[in-house]
Amino acid sequence: MPVKNRFAELLPEITGWRRDFHEHPEILFDTHRTAGRVAELLKEFGCDEVVEGIGRTGVVGVIRGRADTKGRVLGLRADMDALPIIEATGLDYASKTKGAMHACGHDGHTAMLLGAARYLAETRNFDGTAVVIFQPAEEGGGGGREMCQDGMMERFGIQEVYGMHNWPGQPVGSFAIRPGAFFAATDQFEIEVEGRGGHAAKPHETIDTTVVASQIVIAFQTIVSRNIDPVQQLVVSVTSFETESKAFNVIPQKVTLRGTVRTLDKEVRKLAETRLIKIAEATADAYGATARVSYMRGYPVMVNSEEQTQFAAKVASNVSGSCGDAPLIMGGEDFAFMLEERPGAYVLVGNGDTAAVHHPEYNFNDDAIPAGCSWWAGIVEERMPTA
């Protein structure tokens, strides 16, 4: 099953949807325009059921095949939200929303799944039910968790679930995947270090929070180098060091540190959290200061199921001729919540030689649309073939 001719025919229309979404990006759960347009199109395609408002602003479409002899139900998920980035592409369809941009290709994901939904609603050449899922708030809001907590899997009887993400640097329309842990768990921390502020010319009368906080930052590096098995993956990054004073001659009373922890194993995740809190508190105490740590667990590790990964790779190979081995990725993906609920798999589709995701010059490559749509359609038709 190579790229389907129907998607070549539909490419101008699907590209039009994609560029419209790109021009009108929406952030987190505020995807009202996007969700409304998605629901409108699904109804036009003749989906058997279209439900809005799942996971706040998520949309679900139900497409029943020609037969339903085995009661099979597959979920196909795309994300809809954009990022709080100022676009710098110079495109004629660049963002018209100040401070928002589709810098991760969710506009492309949504358009590709809409293209697949149209094809599946036209042909219905499968035995079972396809459930197309359009999710808000992947970029830090946990929209996947919200949709699951709304009972989506049970309500629509979803048995397996599949997702896709474009990948810059990978040849256009090619695929890559891996079984097991794939994308990292993404935790955040905020640490308020408090000492005793004072005049910079009299440091002996202070408890210097900049020194204390600096020691904490350096000590955190030992979590990776001395606490974790070297064959395990862990990232501990302090990304913000903020004092309450901007003066040249003041030692601040407080310093706030912020950062992220990325892991691919549940036990490593627990250990990293424990050590980070202990190191911050003990280091501050050693200098006579205090450290108040807020540790926020984010997305869990995204884990591809073995059987479904093999199947997804087979479909990808049928579309593009092969399917490569994807690397471990320390970025997060809240499709993890859906994979905790049901077996499934997540695949990467090549975006070509473009700017990286989350970059102000990034743009989804429309040339990837036929391959992406064909993969979605193949997942349904090959997993639930008609007799």
User: Which residue ranges make up the annotated binding site for Mn(2+)?
Assistant: 104, 106, 139, 165, 358
Answer for the pair 159, 379: CB distance below 8 angstroms, yes or no: no
* Residue the block writes with tokens 């064909």: 374
Phi first, then psi: give them for residue 95, nearest 5 degrees. Answer: -55, 135
Q: Which residues does the annotation place in the binding site?
A: 104, 106, 139, 165, 358
191 - beta bridge partners?
A: 257, 293
Residue 222 DSSP SS3: helix
Amino acid type, 7: F
Q: Which DSSP symbol is given to 204?
A: G
Answer for the pair 282, 293: CB distance below 8 angstroms, yes or no: no
How many other CB atoms are there within 10 angstroms of residue 286's CB atom? 10
Answer for the pair 152, 60: CB distance below 8 angstroms, yes or no: yes
Beta strands in the chain (DSSP E): 49-54, 58-64, 73-79, 129-135, 160-168, 175-177, 180-183, 185-194, 198-199, 234-243, 250-251, 254-263, 290-299, 302-304, 324-325, 344-352
* Residue the block writes with tokens 């101008």: 12
Q: Which DSSP symbol is given to 101?
A: B
How many other CB atoms are there within 10 angstroms of residue 292's CB atom? 14
